[in-house]
Amino acid sequence: MIFNDIPPFKNVIGLPVTAFTFDDQISLILKWAKCLVSRVVCIANVHMLVEAYRDPEFAPVLQNADLVTPDGMPLVWMLRLMGAPNQDRVAGLDVLLALCERASTENISIFFLGSQSSILEKMRSQLEQDFPNLQISGMEPLPFRPLSENEDKAVVQKLNESGCGLVFVSLGCPKQEIWMSKHKDQVQAVMIGLGGAFPVYAGIHKRAPQVIRSLGLEWLYRLVQEPRRLWSRYSSTIPIFIWLACKQLVTSDRTTIT
């Protein structure tokens, strides 16, 4: 098991994706959390990578993140084809559950930031059932509008004074990733973007069955649940990713892991 601050990664359509097993990524996050060090963890799927590919202002957020986990199965398949044959999926909800379970026994507290009060209340109720020993240092919804400078400073102060080792951030992509990047070295905790996992864990949205997830069709399952919100996103990102990924696999060296 490797515990350095620069875990191995591969560039997928020009952006870094961490080539590390699920267990090793969870263990590394917890190691950082115990030390209260400021780190940024992006839970990446096809949509996030394509957004970063198209937006030169967003791309540095992923390039400078400490971990960019392969959430979507297409990213897992790419890593396997590029020299990481044992790569598994490191998905948002699985990260949330694994960290809550281990934090419960390793004296690490968690702060839940963003989302809506109603979702956070449902999450708290479920967390108390699933992880009765979990230390929840705070739950704080944020407004949709940009925070004022004073409001932002107050949020950072609250996070640091809480003593949390982990901050689960739910602001939606790419807003949550940009927020975490801007607050690197200000928030003394590991910040993890888990926007899509909050409503699923709260029971508002259903997660796809395992067989659908393993086939890489979770996006279709989600599209059926939220067609209005997701159709435009998927139709504008999935074809681009398929083209860029195929082009990369045909023209580049797949074997070396950085």
- pTM for the whole thing? 0.92
- The residues, any chain, with a CB within 8 Å of residue 153's CB and separated by 6 or more, are none
Q: Which long-range contacts (CB under 8 A, 24 or more apart) does 246-250 make?
A: 248/12, 248/13, 249/78, 249/81, 249/82
Can you give the residue ranges of every domain in the chain?
Answer: 9-201
The rounded distance, in Å, linking the Cα atoms of 243 and 11 is 16
Q: What is the dihedral of CA 20, 26, 30, 31, to 10 degrees?
A: -20
What is the DSSP code (8-state) at residue 56? T
pLDDT in tens, the chain (258 residues): 444 567 999 999 999 999 999 999 999 999 999 999 999 999 999 999 999 999 999 999 999 999 999 998 999 999 999 999 999 999 999 999 999 999 999 999 999 999 999 999 999 999 999 999 999 999 999 988 889 999 999 999 999 999 999 999 999 999 999 999 999 999 999 999 998 899 999 999 888 888 888 888 887 888 888 888 878 878 889 999 999 999 999 987 554 444
